[in-house]
Structure 1
Amino acid sequence: MAPVSSALEDLVAALPEGSVVTDPDIVASYRQDRAADPDAGTALAVVRPRRTEEVQTVLRWATAHGIAVVPRGAGTGLSGGATALDGAIMLSTERMRDITVDPATRTAVAQPGLLNAEVKAAVAEYGLWYPPDPSSFEICSIGGNIATNAGGLCCVKYGVTTDYVLGLQVVLADGTAVRLGGPRLKDVAGLSLTKLFVGSEGTLGVITEVTLRLLPPQHTPCTVVATFDSVQAAADAVVTITGRIRPSMLEFMDSAAINAVEDKLKMGLDRTAAAMMVAASDDRGPAGAEDAEFMAAVFTEAGATEVFSTSDPAEGEAFVVARRYAIPAVEAKGSLLLEDVGVPLPALAALVAGIEKIAAHHDLLISVIAHAGDGNTHPLIVFDPADADMARRADVAFGEIMDLAVSLGGTITGEHGVGRLKKPWLAGYLGPEAMELNRRIKTALDPAGILNPGAAI
């Protein structure tokens, strides 16, 4: 086998000029994703292809030389799934940005480097809507969304990324390009391989094209905001609402998140509240207003200290922006370890109460925000990485929160993925039989283990 330096020259020669980057400063900028994994390595090079054929070239080369490849989208991942490895290739899809829209089939065919917001804007020109909307929709890529099966604020009604992926083109570890699915709403020929790759975090193949299902545009929502002096009361209201209707949004912020957002946005939020709910219904006509009235009544009966309803789009959007801003607002108070645990809805209050106890026990600030309508929570552990003892306590709390969620019948990740940060807990969560099945699939598709080693599976 040729020396790595000589082999890299072969890769440079096989790809268009400028595709392979070895400048140390640029390579260093690709070491971490937003999870800021302190154990990130240093890649051999960053490769930025534009076409599927170029990705094939990279993976054939990597397989031939036994070099790991870490696929990377926009780098906004929160579980360390795009953390660099020493001597690996960072394969960035950022230059893969083509999109075509077919209004007749209500589909879009897009490359993975487009941002979620750019896909939304492109399809909106045809009077269509792409629903999945992570809080980071303005900066996260479609490829990354598919890699983690991202959700978002409207998933309580409209579902998550996998519900909108009809087809994929995937390049396997040996460089084989495979087309799966297509612009068909119903297709059960063969195993459901398209779904296998959604959420696989770059461990089974590199997604180079995706066929997305689109919907008619969302109707203007009616928004209801409520504050509570009890998390239990807010959680009880969630269970009542979801037992009767499917709101288009049902979001939760705890006291720490409310105050962090108020510090930044100065909206006049109630700093004394223990919880705030932001709910909406986008059903057409009177149905939306009726749903909003129902949710307002449920909040009131559950003991809300204040309930505010509006059908004004700007007023409603202001509260949605506040919820989206919660993570950066809390992050202003220190570095974050971001959790992504989910539980059955009746266990939501128990999870939040348990997290409060964990925070007190370890003397940490842990804020909880949640897609309450589906039980997916994002505990935000604030710490100072320069304080070794605090960093240790934060790591312990990180694991205890996942253990707590599992003990309540929940999961260690609802939409951010396992990455590298949560991998130590994966086998215990899945159990030995399911874990072995995961490993068999990984081995079948990537026998040399070059695709994102150390992540997820």
Structure 2
Amino acid sequence: MIIDDLVKELPPGRVITDPDQIGAYCNDEHSYVTPGQACAVVVARERDDVVAALRWASRNRVPVIPRGAGTGIVGGTAAVDGCLVISLAKMTAIRELSAEDELAVVEPGVINAELDRQARKLGLMYAPDPSSYETCTIGGNIATNAGGLRCVKYGVTRESVLGLEAVLADGSVLRTGRRTIKGVVGYDLTALLIGSEGTLGVVTEATLRLRPAPKQPPVTVAAEFPTIRQAAEAVWAIIRCAVGPSLLELMDRTTLVAMDEWRNIGLDPATGAMLLGQADGSDAQAAAAVMAQCCEAAGASVVAVSSDEAEAAQLLTVRRTAFNAIERLGACLIEDVCVPRSKLPEMFDAVTRIAEQYKVLVPTVAHAGDGNLHPVFVFDRSLPEIPAEVWAAADELFRAALALGGTLTGEHGVGTLKRHWLGEELGAETLAANLAIKRALDPLGILNPGKAI
């Protein structure tokens, strides 16, 4: 059998062939993508494991699914029948932390939060912080160009990646980028690989930009509004003031009610939305004061400003656990659209209208400072598949975002779920260019087939 050849080419214990064990590696956290059955799993511990696995897969024309921690929610790591899964979760070395050059060199299985913790010991930080930061890996973050709560100031993953090492479909090793902040030699292959969802190469090392950690605790602004539109208008007002918030997160009433029923947060019956903002740096107090003024001018019923770290942590816990509260309401299709920040009020209006039109519960949270909304379509958990009215509502929501100049996904990726709408955003010519790049780097089409493009 050809699997025997793979087992022989790798050190003992690297290849899993037991079907009962393989199943745990065949899907991500989205339970509504039905995975195929992989033929084997390679648990990589070093780059050469990935090289050997891809050479074997290329010779035998076996599809390959790269996988990190499996925290994605768009079916990006869903197996196809007969594929080989390459798990990078055991490649966890932080090879270098340089305080002098403010960079880190890491393997793809390093947990996002662990890198940040190690950087903090040097007075630095790793800026991207997705909601799953305690479990998601750097490799997965790179694959989807993940964002997080701090990206309004520090940018998404792309802004923190200086260079990559990746193994291509034929097993050859590609090195991109550099250790410097600037550099324009050659095409920007680093940016090309970021967000490619494992369809162009398998990342085995990343050189990442670190940033000075703020010396003082951030100042937090918490504001409650009668309506979600007023909260969205406050966000746009804050952006126009150019005070540089480090965080602007928005939760609608449905989300807050779910949280109150779960954790008893003392929700006021008149509160229709909550906005959490933070400012860090030497001008944090002044920036927070401006944010508070913007909230008041937009009609906030309550505005509180605090420098207390414990209080700030408690508020951010509410935001970070919002999806946990929502999941208690039923099965969830978690979506991720992004619009220009000036269009946030209109997009929230569209969410409200679509939810009412299709009679679907759609609690929504947002990285509002980026214009990135996460509407969650909730439906009966006993149903075997996503109901038609949910897909119809999601379809209209995607089209509304595109009509406002937005995008189908800000940070979750396309995966399996959103390929149907790619043509609507990219157009025929741009899609053809994407496919040409795919064919150039993966001529056999074995890398994560059926995903992203």
Q: Please give the TM-score of this superposition, normalised by the length of structure 2.
A: 0.97
Alignment match of 1:248 (pick from 246, 249, 253): 246
Alignment match of 2:311 (pick from 298, 305, 315): 315
Which residue number in structure 1 is paired with residue 257 of structure 2? 259
SS for the counterpart of 1:243 is: helix
SS for the counterpart of 1:431 is: helix
Is 1:163 the counterpart of 2:167? The answer is no
| 8 Å Cα contact 1:252/1:369 also seen in 2 | yes
Alignment match of 2:10 (pick from 11, 15, 23): 15
Which residue number in structure 1 is paired with residue 231 of structure 2? 234
Where structure 2 has 5 or more consecutive residues not aligned to the other structure, the ranges are none
Is 1:213 the counterpart of 2:209? The answer is yes
Is 1:435 the counterpart of 2:431? The answer is yes
Give the partner amino acid of 2:251.
M
Which residue number in structure 2 is paired with residue 185 of structure 1? 181
Once residues 388 and 39 of structure 1 are traced to their aligned partners in structure 2, the CA distance between those partners, rounded to angstroms, is: 11
Once residues 22 and 268 of structure 2 are traced to their aligned partners in structure 1, the CA distance between those partners, rounded to angstroms, is: 45
Is 1:279 the counterpart of 2:274? The answer is no
The Cα shift of 1:277 comes to 0.1
Give the partner amino acid of 2:53.
V
Once residues 46 and 396 of structure 1 are traced to their aligned partners in structure 2, the CA distance between those partners, rounded to angstroms, is: 36
SS for the counterpart of 1:356 is: helix
The Cα shift of 1:271 comes to 4.4
| 8 Å Cα contact 1:258/1:271 also seen in 2 | no
Is 1:363 the counterpart of 2:363? The answer is no
Once residues 20 and 388 of structure 1 are traced to their aligned partners in structure 2, the CA distance between those partners, rounded to angstroms, is: 33
Is 1:386 the counterpart of 2:373? The answer is no
The Cα shift of 1:389 comes to 8.5
Per-residue CA deviation, residues 205-227 of structure 1 (Å, 9 max, x unaligned), is: 00000000101113411001001
SS for the counterpart of 1:71 is: strand
Per-residue CA deviation, residues 406-447 of structure 1 (Å, 9 max, x unaligned), is: 111110000111101011111221011110000000000000
Once residues 110 and 267 of structure 2 are traced to their aligned partners in structure 1, the CA distance between those partners, rounded to angstroms, is: 35
Give the partner amino acid of 1:14.
E
Per-residue CA deviation, residues 108-129 of structure 1 (Å, 9 max, x unaligned), is: 1000001101111122222211
- Aligned ranges 1:57-68 → 2 under 5 Å: 57-68=52-63
SS for the counterpart of 1:29 is: helix
Which residue number in structure 1 is paired with residue 46 of structure 2? 51
Query: Which range moves more in the overlay, 338-347 or 56-65?
Result: 338-347
SS for the counterpart of 1:209 is: strand
Give the partner amino acid of 1:264.
W
The Cα shift of 1:322 comes to 0.5
Which residue number in structure 2 is paired with residue 349 of structure 1? 345
Which residue number in structure 2 is paired with residue 455 of structure 1? 451
The Cα shift of 1:18 comes to 1.1
SS for the counterpart of 2:124 is: coil
Is 1:81 the counterpart of 2:81? The answer is no
The Cα shift of 1:385 comes to 4.9
The Cα shift of 1:404 comes to 1.2
Once residues 405 and 127 of structure 1 are traced to their aligned partners in structure 2, the CA distance between those partners, rounded to angstroms, is: 39
Query: Which range moves more in the overlay, 316-325 or 204-213?
Result: 316-325
Give the partner amino acid of 1:348.
L
The Cα shift of 1:76 comes to 0.4
- Aligned ranges 1:19-30 → 2 under 5 Å: 19-30=14-25
Once residues 416 and 365 of structure 2 are traced to their aligned partners in structure 1, the CA distance between those partners, rounded to angstroms, is: 23
Once residues 385 and 262 of structure 1 are traced to their aligned partners in structure 2, the CA distance between those partners, rounded to angstroms, is: 21
Per-residue CA deviation, residues 127-157 of structure 1 (Å, 9 max, x unaligned), is: 2110100011001110000000000001111
Closer, same or farther in 2 for the Cα pair 1:59/1:388, shift >3 Å?
closer
The Cα shift of 1:240 comes to 0.9
Closer, same or farther in 2 for the Cα pair 1:106/1:388, shift >3 Å?
closer
Once residues 260 and 193 of structure 2 are traced to their aligned partners in structure 1, the CA distance between those partners, rounded to angstroms, is: 40
Which residue number in structure 2 is paired with residue 3 of structure 1? none
| 8 Å Cα contact 1:37/1:83 also seen in 2 | no
Aligned residue pairs, count: 450
Once residues 109 and 390 of structure 1 are traced to their aligned partners in structure 2, the CA distance between those partners, rounded to angstroms, is: 41
| 8 Å Cα contact 1:96/1:112 also seen in 2 | yes
Give the partner amino acid of 2:415.
G
Give the partner amino acid of 2:73.
L
Runs of 4+ in 1 over 6 A off after TM superposition: none
User: Aligned residues: percent identity?
Assistant: 46
SS for the counterpart of 1:365 is: coil
Once residues 399 and 31 of structure 1 are traced to their aligned partners in structure 2, the CA distance between those partners, rounded to angstroms, is: 27
Give the partner amino acid of 1:380.
V
Closer, same or farther in 2 for the Cα pair 1:293/1:164, shift >3 Å?
same
Per-residue CA deviation, residues 166-200 of structure 1 (Å, 9 max, x unaligned), is: 01000000000011122111111111111110000
| 8 Å Cα contact 2:33/2:78 also seen in 1 | no
Where structure 1 has 5 or more consecutive residues not aligned to the other structure, the ranges are 1-5
Q: Please give the TM-score of this superposition, normalised by the length of structure 1.
A: 0.96
Which residue number in structure 2 is paired with residue 120 of structure 1? 116
The Cα shift of 1:360 comes to 1.8
